[in-house]
Amino acid sequence: MKANTIMLSLFCVLLLGCDTDGLTSMPKIEVEIINHSTRELEYAVARFGKYDCKWGRVGKTFSASYMFYPHPITSDAELHWDEPNGLRMEKIDLRKIYPPGKSGRLTFTVYDDRVEVTFREQP
């Protein structure tokens, strides 16, 4: 047998023996903000650990999406935005909302008095 054939055969055997359970792929996450408040949201940002998802300005009754967010979604998030009367920030516990490793749409809905967060899983 030639050396190339031996190497190719060995490579194929190694591939057959590999278990793909240990390989993880990044879930496809869309992060969305919906403004149901009576104010414009300026510099809207969702922070997941050390990574930010930024939308900028989100007008009244408008929404904005960040398709294929490339960073991990952490169990805690912070939503920041500026309003005419100052900076607002909401801390959100995502442990009961977002199942780690799942693909789908994570939506932050901003009202005058609260922020609601939902997750819709997508295959």
Give residue limits of the domains in the chain: 23-121
Per cent of the chain over pLDDT 70 is 80
pLDDT band of 74, cuts 50, 70, 90:
very high
Q: What is the pLDDT of residue 9?
A: 56
Q: What is the pLDDT of residue 8?
A: 52
Q: What is the pLDDT of residue 21?
A: 44
d(CA 23, CA 53): 26
The type of residue at 111 is Y
Encoded tokens for 120 = 């819709």
Place domain 23-121 in its CATH homologous superfamily.
Domain of unknown function DUF5300 (2.60.40.2890)
- The pTM for the full model equals 0.78
pLDDT band of 73, cuts 50, 70, 90:
very high
Question: What are residue 89's DSSP bridge partners?
Answer: 80
